[in-house]
Amino acid sequence: MEYKFCGKSGLQLPKISLGLWHNFGFLADFNEARKMIRYAFDQGVTHIDIANNYGPPPGSAESVFGKILKEDFSNHRDEMIISSKAGYLMWNGPYGNGGSRKYLISSLNQSLKRTGLEYFDIFYSHRYDPDTPIEETMQALVDIARQGKALYVGISNYPADKEKIAMRYLKEQNVPCLIYQGRYSMFNRKPEEEILAIANDFGSGFIAYSPLAQGVLTDKYLNGIPKNSRAGESHGFLRTEQVRPELIEKVKVLNEIAVKRGQTMAEMALAWALRDERVTSLIVGSRTVGQLKDNLKALDNLSFTADELATIDGILDGATL
């Protein structure tokens, strides 16, 4: 595993982290989930990314991970970076969603109970809430850090103008924003417009989620939509209509470049997302140990020639997901 310092902090993250968004709820195969955590740790994937509402159902990913943590990793807690978040709908009613101090701190305490942890290494505000003053949300993060319930704080999915306000507030409170988490892939390059630059200016790291566009940037959909894929499941976030023919045609051409590089499509897509020095780590949501093995092979070839990058840019022109 290769590690990289997160922004201007002293914390190093693995270049590939494991996320538990779709793959660790009560509906998942527990034995496979356990094997993945074990394999990831053995390969140096020290960072596990979760959130209060990951599952399905909400909360179940934290509960499943907490069980694995207790049974297999109780003696390795200090060798791991465990992050969680709150911001999206977790429970019904006025206090189970958004960015209020009430919700963030209540949800954090629930997450600590589900995982069996005393603290998270990183705790995020999962989204910008237009109905709550940013100052309230950020002060909640400040207080969470000062109470020792999180070693670092971060923000996720904030628009660029709100990102700047949030990071400035945290800096002024001497609890700097460690990291920004955002969606970033070949099919979603929006962070390149402003978000990456702002994070870099404030000395924050950047960690990308969905770097494989939820599996579209693999060879999975080249010949249709498999029943066991995310687009083929009713509870997934990737809808069938999003797997558009024009995107798949682009993936087919990109796959030819990957083959010439001696990589799978997934390996090349991950390597591409790491080409920008401002990107600290990528969160992969592998469902099996085999998928995780393939993802980690991306680190074997991270270099691109100028011609390869120019060709890829041409293929990606106008492609969004």
Contacts of 184 (CB under 8 A, 6+ apart): 190, 191, 206, 208, 209, 210, 211, 273, 279
Average pLDDT score over residue span 205-209? 98
- Kind of pairing between the strands at 3-5 and 12-14: antiparallel
Q: What is the pLDDT averaged over residues 235-254?
A: 76
Q: Is the pLDDT of residue 239 over 90?
A: no
Per-residue pLDDT, averaged over 135-160, amounts to: 98
Q: What is the per-residue pLDDT across 9-68, written as a single tens digit (0 to 9) for each?
A: 999 999 999 999 988 888 888 999 999 999 999 999 999 999 999 998 999 999 999 999
Residue 281 clears pLDDT 90, i.e. is over it: yes
Maximum distance among all alpha carbons in the chain? 54
Contact 156, 182 (CB under 8 A): yes
Asked whether the predicted pLDDT for residue 245 surpasses 90, the reply is: no
Rg, Å, the chain Cα set: 19
Handedness of CA 99, 102, 103, 106 (dihedral sign): positive
* DSSP string for 115-163: HT-S-EEEEEE-S--TTS-HHHHHHHHHHHHHTTSEEEEEEES--HHHH
The token pair at 47 is 């960072």
Read off the pLDDT band of 297 (50, 70, 90). Answer: very high
Region of residue 207 (left: phi > 0; alpha: psi -120 to 50; beta: else): beta
Give the integer Cα–Cα distance in Å for 42 and 24: 19
**pTM for the whole thing?**
0.93
pLDDT tens readout for residues 11-21: 999 999 999 99
Domains of the chain, first to last: 3-219+273-302 (3.20.20.100)
pLDDT for residue 319: 77
Q: Is the dihedral of CA 235, 241, 242, 246 positive or negative?
A: positive
Q: What is the percent of the chain with per-residue pLDDT over 70, rounded to a whole number?
A: 94
User: Rounded distance, CA 294 to CA 20, Å?
Assistant: 17
